[in-house]
Amino acid sequence: MIKKLLIANRGEIACRVIKTAKQLGIQTVAVYSQADCNAMHVNMADEAVLLGPAPSKDSYLKYEAIISHAKNLRVDAIHPGYGFLSENADFAQQCEANNLVFVGPPASAIQAMGSKSAAKRIMEEAGVPLVPGYHGDDQTPATLKKAADDMGYPVLLKAAAGGGGKGMRQIWHEDEFYPALQAAKRESMASFGDDHMLVEKYLTRPRHVEIQVFCDTFGQGVYLFERDCSVQRRHQKIIEEAPAPNMPEGVREQMGEAALKAASAIHYVGAGTVEFLLDDDGAFYFMEMNTRLQVEHPVTEMITGEDLVAWQLQVADKKPLPKTQAELKCQGHAFEARIYAEDADNDFLPSTGHLALLKPPATNAFIRVDTGVTQGDDVSVYYDPMIAKLVVWGENRELALSRLYQALGDYHISGATTNIPFLRKVANSQAFKQAELTTTFIEKFADQLTFDESESRGLPLPAMALYVLLDRASNEKMGRHVSERDHTSPWQQLGTWRANSTYEETLSLEVNNHTIRVEVQHIKRLTVTEPRQWRIKLPEQEVVVSGSLNGNTLQATIGEVKSAFTVVKHNSQFSLLNAGICTNFQLIPPDLGLDGSDSKDTNTTAPMNGTIVAHLVPPEEHVKRGDPLLIMEAMKMEHTITAPSDGKVDEYYYAVGELVDGGAALFAFTPHTTD
């Protein structure tokens, strides 16, 4: 019987496992890196042990150290979570060799599915339908390209040992093949220590539908229905739902039976997910099997009422499955939105930051938040930038989607750029409401998901402007000055007084990563005791505002309406909260040309914290605008920096392998000039 459990992971999945273990009366042990010494999962566990420095290879991937700590602490079992060591067959074998229960499938099953090419062969023999592709051992570039040419473009390159979109590239034309192959192999080697690739025909309008399977040690297996995970960026899911909408009952049963056939072929035990591509005509094809608990397992829990972690522990304890197939029921509809620290308007680049404000929506029977961070934590460059998973349930899809949209509006985060505004756009888009799902959803419906200037009408811009004006007035009264100003310049000493005119100015506000200009007219006061007023001019609105600022509370009169707002300040960023909505903004200082910078400077800066992976061209070599120059890796993803114009790189400022701060100049660049 499992009495003490070590969780070989971090973040929200470690917290998730600890929560169920405590409910079952099981003692828990957390592991952590130096970067995570004060993390939520460390504080939740009964005991915690340090593994090493922040990089995963020096901490969470050191399974010898994990097993040693488990033995010293008299642990009965190890739960690997997802990611890190969860699909490492050697780790599973070492657990067994040291009389530790591995809460997952046998090492042989992990090994069988660990190679995508080997998995395809096994599935083919088991009669599971496959996407046409090349899964052979001949890995010469010419052989791989010939397979792609024979299949016809587009094709998909995939890392045989991978998952989560790592080492994956879409190739639409023949001339893109070799550069894409090099990038995919490099990313695969960095992520999995293996650059073996397979090539598949790329379906242009598929849905990503997966089946949750569970098997016990008595040879029994069930499937807990399906999840649609089609809304993805960079081949990684951001919104999942269960059950899959518009799924014919017959196809659901066929897919479920195929998933169980796949599990049976490798003598599977525990929780697993069989992923399929579902085509327009109802045909489906095996994609891969993840031999672990999935990130999106909560939506399955919401529609079945089952605790899948509890199921895992029961099966690992050599007990039969809690329910048979006939006893499992699918009720209602559920969504999961992954809250990431990333910039959706900048190619979803991951971001780091200090979570100065972290206020999730209130949880209840319909709304659940799985997270591993608290207010005041930092989003680190070392790990995946997921902050939380927001999960909602409703009696039907329409109600569940309405709850998702509202709950996203109630999720307030400041200190790091997040994808919450983008997720709200997806949830509110007509295409998503109508379940026009495909793995290219984001690209296909980009027009519904990009910022529209008309959206500014729904933002509390007058309140933001009022806060900026009151805050500035308060600073001036206290003798403080805004750091961006040049205090020696007479133009910065004028204030708002004018002899024979009304002072007007333009405030540039960056709101949810978009610049909006607000015209402000300072209304003259007849007496010094009269409250200050300003006329705010917007393209479709003109209103007089006044108010007061007391700490974090803004009392605002906007036109005839009085409202109270809470403002949270973090460095130069602000979060404005009112009526369940959080709007992040900052004031963009005017460019007065006083900083002495050369406007012709074309040095390219790092878009985020990361590590230099490769220099793609040598210094002094002529390049064209858009040519790849340098590759950075951050938060498990590669990012290519391209030439800003025709020209040449004079020198690189960082060597391969060096860590770079976001905003740092990466190289000196001289643009090409014509006489």
Q: Which of 148, 173, 201 is the last residue of a domain?
A: 201
Say if residue 519 is exposed, middle or buried (CB neighbours under 10 Å; 0-12, 13-18, 19+). Answer: middle
Which CATH number covers residue 666?
Answer: 2.40.50.100
Q: Are residues 266 and 325 in the same domain?
A: yes
Q: Is 596 within a domain?
A: no
Q: Vertex 352, ends 418 and 616: CA angle to 5°?
A: 110
Residue 606, pLDDT above cutoff 90: no
Q: Are residues 523 and 632 in the same domain?
A: no
Q: Are residues 402 and 448 in the same domain?
A: yes
Residue 259, pLDDT above cutoff 70: yes
Q: Are residues 85 and 136 in the same domain?
A: no
Six-digit token pair at 386? Answer: 């997921």
| CA atoms 59, 64, 68, 70: torsion sign | positive
Q: Are residues 326 and 364 in the same domain?
A: yes
Residues 6+ apart with CB under 8 A from 43: none
Q: Is 597 within a domain?
A: no
**What pairs with residue 670 in β-bridges?**
648
Position 478 scores a pLDDT of 65
Q: Is 490 within a domain?
A: no
Q: Is 111 within a domain?
A: no
Structural domains counted in the chain:
5
Cα–Cα distances in angstroms (integers) from residue 589 to residues 482, 573, 598, in the given order: 9, 12, 18
Position 604 scores a pLDDT of 79
Q: Is 438 within a domain?
A: yes
Q: How confident is the model at residue 92 (pLDDT cuts 50, 70, 90)?
A: very high
Q: Is 67 within a domain?
A: yes
Span 619-640, mean pLDDT? 84
Neighbours of 342 (CB within 10 A): 28
Q: Are residues 301 and 440 in the same domain?
A: yes
Measure the CA–CA gap between 371 and 389, rounded to whole angstroms: 6
Q: Are residues 312 and 223 in the same domain?
A: yes
Q: Are residues 400 and 326 in the same domain?
A: yes
Residues marked active site are found at: 292
Q: Torsions phi, psi of 625, nearest 5? A: -55, 130
Residue 431, pLDDT above cutoff 60: yes
Q: Are residues 554 and 655 in the same domain?
A: no
Output the 3-class SS for 62-90: CHHHHHHHHHHCCCCEEECCCCCCCCCHH
Residue 483, pLDDT above cutoff 70: no
Q: Which of 51, 85, 103 is the last residue of a domain?
A: 103
Which CATH number covers residue 503?
Answer: 3.30.700.30
Q: Is 403 within a domain?
A: yes
Measure the CA–CA gap between 658 and 606, rounded to whole angstroms: 12
Q: Are residues 86 and 49 in the same domain?
A: yes
Q: Tens digit of pLDDT for each residue in 327-364?
A: 999 999 999 999 999 988 888 888 888 998 899 999 99
Measure the CA–CA gap between 18 and 41, rounded to whole angstroms: 8
Residue 494, pLDDT above cutoff 50: no
Q: Which of 151, 176, 201 is the last residue of a domain?
A: 201
Which CATH number covers residue 32?
Answer: 3.40.50.20
Helices (H), 203-248: none
Which of 103-117, 440-454, 596-610 has maximum average pLDDT?
Answer: 103-117
Instruction: Provide the 3-class DSSP secondary structure of residue 348.
Output: coil
Q: Are residues 213 and 175 in the same domain?
A: no
Q: Is 66 within a domain?
A: yes
Instruction: Provide the 3-class DSSP secondary structure of residue 469.
Output: helix
Q: Tens digit of pLDDT for each residue in 646-656?
A: 999 999 999 99
Q: Which residues of 584-602 are buried (b: 16+ CB within 10 A; e: fewer)?
A: bbbbeeeeeeeeeeeeeee
Task: Name the residue range of residue 550's domain.
Answer: 457-482+498-588
How big is the chain by its Cα radius of gyration, in Å?
28
Q: Are residues 332 and 369 in the same domain?
A: yes
Q: How confident is the model at residue 601 (pLDDT cuts 50, 70, 90)?
A: very low
